[in-house]
Amino acid sequence: MSFVWTEFLATGNEKMDAQRRKLIEEMNYFFTAITEEKAEKEVERMFTFLDGFVTGMFFVEESMLRSGNYPEFARHKAQHDFFRKSYANMRNEYELRGVTDTLISDLHKKIFVWLLNHITKEDMQWVSFIKNKESK
Ligand SMILES: [Fe+2]
């Protein structure tokens, strides 16, 4: 399973788009590692990447939506907060127990699949709102 960046996913914000391209690249890398049964040694690398992504990208996005008066801001931020919590729990699990099959499965399903769904569905709603606003 491999994901491809398309312009359909572009937000119009260069920094954000670069981060999204990188996210897709990292997902592909991790999914390949899972199928080759090498995921265990890639977990630290994934957490390092995700730490930056979760703090960086969500922050940039939320600032932009707040200043753009996005009407669904509260609902959208609640989704980010849900993810932040789930990610923090997973990171704690990793600190406590190290790499386990459950952790690898959770990284796959609760992190990467969640993020992929989020950027392709939820984020696309604010992208179209902002683009509409800018074109007026
Ligand atoms: Fe978002």
Q: 56 is written with which tokens?
A: 């960086």
Q: For residue 93, is pLDDT > 90?
A: yes
Mean pLDDT of the chain: 90
Tell me, in angstroms, the distance from the centre of ligand 1 to residue 36's CA: 31
Tell me, in angstroms, the distance from the centre of ligand 1 to residue 101's CA: 28
Q: For residue 33, is pLDDT > 80?
A: yes
Tell me, in angstroms, the distance from the centre of ligand 1 to residue 12's CA: 14
Residue 61 confidence class, pLDDT cut points 50, 70, 90? very high
Q: For residue 92, is pLDDT > 90?
A: yes
The arrangement of secondary structure in 13-135, i.e. its CATH architecture, is Up-down Bundle (1.20)
Tell me, in angstroms, the distance from the centre of ligand 1 to residue 4's CA: 19
Residue 1 confidence class, pLDDT cut points 50, 70, 90? low
Residue 56 confidence class, pLDDT cut points 50, 70, 90? confident
Q: For residue 88, is pLDDT > 90?
A: yes
